[in-house]
Amino acid sequence: MDESNHWYGHSRILGKYCGLHDEAPKRIQGFLQHGWNYLHGFPPNDHWCSPGYPRFVWSDVLRRRGWSMGRRGHYLIGAPWIYLLSLEPELGVRPVREGTIWYPFHGWEKHSVSGDHARLADEIRNVETGPVTVCLYWLEYANPDIRRSYESRGFRVICHGERGSRWEGKGRDFLRKQLIELRRHRRVASNRLGSALFYGASVGCDVAVYGDPMQFEDERPEYGGTARRERLWPELHGTHVDPGLAAEVARRELGFEYQATPEELRRMFGWKRVRTA
């Protein structure tokens, strides 16, 4: 229904889990939360989700926040990530992990982020003790000056790819690539809490959040900014975070307990069963 349902290969992963053909991801009848969010699972703009259509969210706290703000029609299904782990339990598994994968906070097509990548790279070099992989969003990866800020410090710089749409394959393997990279690293870090941190914690990475959090241009006040993140999750900020606690929070925020069966998802999404070849 909405293009964001297909970003990062989400609809393909859920379709495969439901036993549907992978080549033509089906239209989800509703709005699927596409990334970790500490508001109500979606952007604050009221026009983002058409009234009357279901909202498929990752966790109960988001459902409750949405309800408190007058939004209805929430279905708890957990993050697409947990369905990928169910489908690919051994993907990228290594006997020994090393180094840190670092995710700088990024902008998107309509809003850029202000911050000093060179200064952040210096802080990363001063904190991390092993090899560092910096994973940039495709917009920042396309900027040679930003890439150079990290490459000049000796870091490996990668990109998981662009986010795609229903009709193009750009983002179809985004989460699979991310899973492979997370499982090769001992730590995952960022300058802001985000999806990548929780994904990493869910597959055994140590977690760290430090450095200039950077800012969106005209960042929406509804989110509450850095102060709210630090107030709600003080235990997840710092260069060293309790790994057991991080894994526990990740399972809650990603909604592992709400993983639906294929039959339940097909019914919620309005999908008819189509057998794979």
The tens digit of pLDDT for each residue in 124-152 reads 999 999 999 999 998 899 999 999 999 99
Q: What is the pLDDT of residue 8?
A: 81
Angle at 80 between CA 77 and CA 85, to 5 degrees: 110
**Domain annotation for the chain: domains and CATH numbers:** 3-87+255-269 (no CATH), 100-254 (3.40.50)
Structure tokens at 274: 């189509």
179: left (phi over 0), alpha (psi -120 to 50) or beta: alpha
Per the CB < 8 A criterion, the answer to whether 54 and 75 are in contact is yes
- Give the integer Cα–Cα distance in Å for 5 and 2: 6
Q: Percent of the chain having pLDDT more than 90?
A: 58
Point out the residues of the chain with pLDDT beneath 70: 1-6, 22-25, 43-52, 107-112, 164-169, 171, 216-224, 273-277
Give the DSSP letter of residue 7: G
Per the CB < 8 A criterion, the answer to whether 239 and 220 are in contact is no
Smallest CA-to-CA distance from 214 within 94, 85, 69, 115 is with 115
By DSSP bridging, strand 113-114 and strand 215-216 are antiparallel
Whole-Å CA distances, 157 to 139, 153, 228: 13, 11, 30
